[in-house]
């Protein structure tokens, strides 16, 4: 197959799980003998065309329309303030990418594509343009998250309408968990179009046996973690939907029973200052380390290796690749399992194959209970970690994710 792949984040500029997914799945497509052409955002410093690992990448150079954009957009978008530039950049990326794809690759160069995949609202404009210009070309709308879920019921009405229009026009849809599919159907999305393909993880890369223990000890020294202290680890965006504020709120409750623990938080986001303020007000600065930056994948793996328990108490999470990474590293996990939760489908909370604990990410006391459940049963929890790696190897590799996705593409083409 020849696949056109529209996704706003891709190598070498990653923001979150979507970028990780895009890189890993396209590499697998290529390994399996398929041809992949990626259209992605250019921050102004990247090449407009290059080949990487056999994958052709197009990054049209954007023009800044943020000054004129508010003149003709709806009030909803005008309220974005300085963030209007992000929206205008997304629109510019979509329009220029779709134009290049349609006019240059398909019409002028006569390249024969089999399917177009576009990911989330951030690439939905491109999908809509291509559907209009080349209606015979099959399109797949990949839904990794939607505005109702990300904004916990609020958010931008414009983005919601973009997402619904993309779902109506696409020939097929793929989402990342059955929980997310149920949520989409409850909002009126077309059930008959929606397929489920779990994301994956690379268990060869995320492998505890490949980690140098000396580097782990160096990292502990960097954070001032004593040998007798247990490490609770969170990695992700510092936003409300990830439940990180509730996790920090849970720490005083954990410390009452387990004073020899430290929480390490790794990530960036708008809640950073709120987290710092809470830590200072509750005098737990010596127990909570917040590192507000993105790190290399190698250092990310070292953080998992350092952890005794990984906690991802999301209030809403369509999938959550970080949980798979932690399980691949043989760590017990505590995950938010209420509402929309792909984490609930990953993590087994009981029985002989148990991999972790389900909690309600809305409740700090429940998060604290989940962490204490691991610390109270620490030797048993090591088995949960080993079960987690077995589960990733069996159900959640990128190879499995790619095969399931390609099967949906192939069915659509036939």
| Predicted pLDDT at 126 | 95
| Predicted pLDDT at 239 | 94
Give the mean pLDDT of the chain. Answer: 94
CA pseudo-torsion sign 166, 171, 177, 183: positive
CA distance 66 to 86: 8
**259-297 pLDDT, tens digit each:** 999 999 999 999 999 999 999 999 999 999 999 988 999
Give a three-class secondary structure readout of 84-102: HHHHHHHHHHHHHHHHHHH
pLDDT at 72 over 60: no
How would residue 258 be classed by pLDDT, with cut points 50, 70 and 90? very high
| Predicted pLDDT at 13 | 87
Who contacts 399 (Cβ-Cβ below 8 Å, separation ≥6)? 28, 200
| Predicted pLDDT at 191 | 96
Set out the domains of the chain in order of their start, with CATH numbers: 2-200+397-413 (3.40.50.2000), 208-395 (3.40.50.2000)
CA distance 232 to 326: 12
Q: How far apart are the first and last CA of the chain?
A: 12
Are 199 and 142 within 8 A, CB to CB?
Answer: no
What totals of helices (H) and strands (E) does the chain contain, helices first?
Answer: 17, 14
CA distance 148 to 159: 10
From residue 267, alpha-carbon distances to 97, 117, 233, 328 in Å are: 30, 29, 11, 20
How would residue 349 be classed by pLDDT, with cut points 50, 70 and 90? very high
Who contacts 8 (Cβ-Cβ below 8 Å, separation ≥6)? 18, 40, 41, 90, 93, 119, 120, 122, 123
Q: How many percent of the chain have pLDDT more than 70? A: 96
- Please, what's the b/e burial string for 75-105 (b: 16 or more CB within 10 A of its CB; e: otherwise)? eebeebeeebeebbbbebbbbbbbebbbeeb
Give yes or no for a cis peptide into 12 (omega within 30° of 0): yes
pLDDT at 371 over 90: yes
Are 320 and 314 within 8 A, CB to CB?
Answer: yes
Closest to 338 in 3D by CA, of 310, 357, 354: 357
CA distance 321 to 342: 9
Average pLDDT value for residue range 82-109: 88
Are 101 and 123 within 8 A, CB to CB?
Answer: no
Closest to 264 in 3D by CA, of 319, 309, 227: 309
| Predicted pLDDT at 86 | 82
Are 200 and 397 within 8 A, CB to CB?
Answer: yes
| Predicted pLDDT at 347 | 98
| pTM across the whole model | 0.91
Are 179 and 341 within 8 A, CB to CB?
Answer: yes
| Predicted pLDDT at 73 | 63
pLDDT at 67 over 80: no
Most confident of 57-71, 88-102, 399-413: 399-413
Q: Cα Rg for the chain, rounded, in angstroms?
A: 22
Q: Count the Cβ atoms, other than its own, within 10 Å of residue 284.
A: 17
């Amino acid at each position: 197959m020849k696949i056109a792949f529209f996704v706003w984040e891709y190598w070498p500029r990653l923001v979150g799980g979507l970028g990780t997914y895009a890189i890993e799945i396209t590499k697998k497509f290529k390994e399996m003998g398929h041809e992949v052409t990626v259209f992605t955002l250019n921050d102004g410093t990247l090449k407009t065309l290059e080949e990487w690992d056999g994958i052709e990448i197009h990054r049209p150079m954007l023009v800044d329309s943020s000054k004129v954009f508010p003149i003709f957009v709806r009030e909803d978008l005008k309220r974005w303030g300085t963030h209007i530039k992000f929206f205008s950049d997304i629109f510019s990326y979509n329009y220029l990418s779709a134009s290049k794809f349609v006019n240059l690759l398909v019409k002028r160069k006569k390249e024969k594509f089999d399917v177009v995949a576009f990911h989330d609202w951030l690439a939905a404009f491109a999908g809509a343009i291509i559907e209009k210009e080349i209606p015979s070309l099959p399109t797949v709308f990949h839904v990794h998250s939607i505005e109702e879920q990300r904004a916990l019921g609020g958010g931008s009405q414009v983005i919601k309408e973009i997402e619904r229009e993309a779902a109506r026009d696409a020939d097929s849809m793929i989402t990342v968990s059955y929980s997310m599919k149920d949520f989409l159907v409850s909002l009126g999305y077309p059930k008959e179009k929606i397929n489920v393909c779990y994301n994956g993880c690379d268990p060869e890369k995320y492998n505890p046996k490949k980690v140098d223990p000396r580097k782990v000890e160096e990292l502990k020294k960097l954070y001032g973690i004593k040998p007798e202290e247990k490490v609770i680890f969170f990695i992700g965006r510092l936003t409300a939907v990830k439940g990180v504020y509730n996790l920090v709120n849970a720490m005083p409750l954990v410390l009452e029973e387990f004073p020899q623990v430290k929480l390490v938080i790794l990530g960036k986001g708008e809640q950073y200052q709120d987290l710092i303020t809470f830590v200072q007000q509750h005098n737990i600065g010596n127990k909570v380390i917040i590192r507000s930056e993105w790190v290399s994948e190698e250092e990310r793996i070292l953080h998992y290796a350092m952890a005794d328990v990984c906690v991802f108490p999301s209030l809403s999470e369509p999938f959550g690749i970080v949980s798979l990474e932690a399980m691949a590293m043989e760590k017990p996990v505590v995950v938010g399992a209420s509402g929309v939760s792909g984490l609930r489908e990953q993590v087994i909370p009981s029985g002989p194959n148990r991999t972790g604990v389900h909690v309600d990410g809305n409740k700090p006391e429940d998060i604290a209970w989940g962490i204490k459940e691991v610390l109270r049963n620490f030797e048993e929890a090591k088995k949960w970690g080993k079960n987690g790696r077995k589960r990733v190897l069996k159900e959640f590799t990128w190879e499995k994710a790619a095969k399931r996705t390609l099967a949906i593409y192939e069915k659509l083409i036939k």
